[in-house]
Amino acid sequence: MARTAYHHGDLHQQAHDQALAVLRLEGDSAISLRGIAKQIGVSAPALYRHYADRESLLAELAISGFAALRQQLLSVEQHAPRAALIGIGLAYVAFAQSEPNLYRLMFGGRVLPKGAHPRLDQAGLGAFNVLQDTIARGQRAGYLKPAPLSLMTATAWSLVHGLSQLTIDGHLPNADAEPQLAEGITSLLLEGAIAHTDAHTDNNEDTP
């Protein structure tokens, strides 16, 4: 069976793209199968040949979102431990801010109760692992204290996820100095996470 052009063409991909466009502009609640079908120029039940239901389409959007997040995190320079850790935090928050509606879908928790969609869980782990690997590298380099890896990863992820969510929803009152905020927050956490080897125990900022 050809995947290039059949009755209509690659309806699967077109529906995915159209749904992503609606998501970006109006959020996931504005995604309707009937609306997508109409804008593609196809009948609504045709979508059910490619997606089991509306939730499956949203899950696929979230999966591609996690893949994109993973790629953005993988592109962070990994030479200097401190720069890598701060860089990955900034990259994470930057992704959420560049795709707020997609990020809300990925972590909204309303769709797909976490164990229902194996591919979605795996995609989330793929992004999570990049963060964990960076922290493990910082530990092996002796930059981070040898606390349990799971604890440090959970802490770092909680921080960047919380900051992402709060900023894209406008909850932080003084979000004006936002880039400095992300860096300042990451640095503040790092000061509690670095190994105190009599080298950098105090305010050791490397920002101009």
Partner DNA sequence: GTGCCAATGTTAACGCCGTTAACTTATCAC
Partner DNA sequence: GTGATAAGTTAACGGCGTTAACATTGGCAC
CA distances (Å), 84 to each of 21, 77, 162, 192, 194, in order? 32, 6, 20, 17, 13
Chain residues 21-50 in contact with DNA, contact rule CB under 7 A: 31-35, 42-46, 48-50
Of 92, 32, 90, the closest CA to residue 66 belongs to 92
Mark 45-84 with x for binding to a second copy (rule: CB under 8 A) and - for no binding. Answer: ----------------------------------------
Q: Provide the minimum distance between the beta carbon of 189 and a second copy in the complex, in angstroms, as a whole number.
A: 6
Chain residues 51-80 in contact with DNA, contact rule CB under 7 A: 53-55
Chain residues 116-175 in contact with DNA, contact rule CB under 7 A: none
Question: CB-wise, 14 or 129, nearer to a second copy?
Answer: 129
Question: CB-wise, 82 or 104, nearer to DNA?
Answer: 104
Report the C-alpha gap between 177 and 181 in whole angstroms.
6
Binding residues for DNA (CB under 7 A): 1-2, 5-9, 11, 31-35, 42-46, 48-50, 53-55
Binding residues for a second copy (CB under 8 A): 27-29, 100, 104, 107-110, 114-115, 124-125, 128, 147-148, 150-152, 154-155, 157-163, 165-166, 168-174, 181, 184-185, 188-193, 196, 201-202
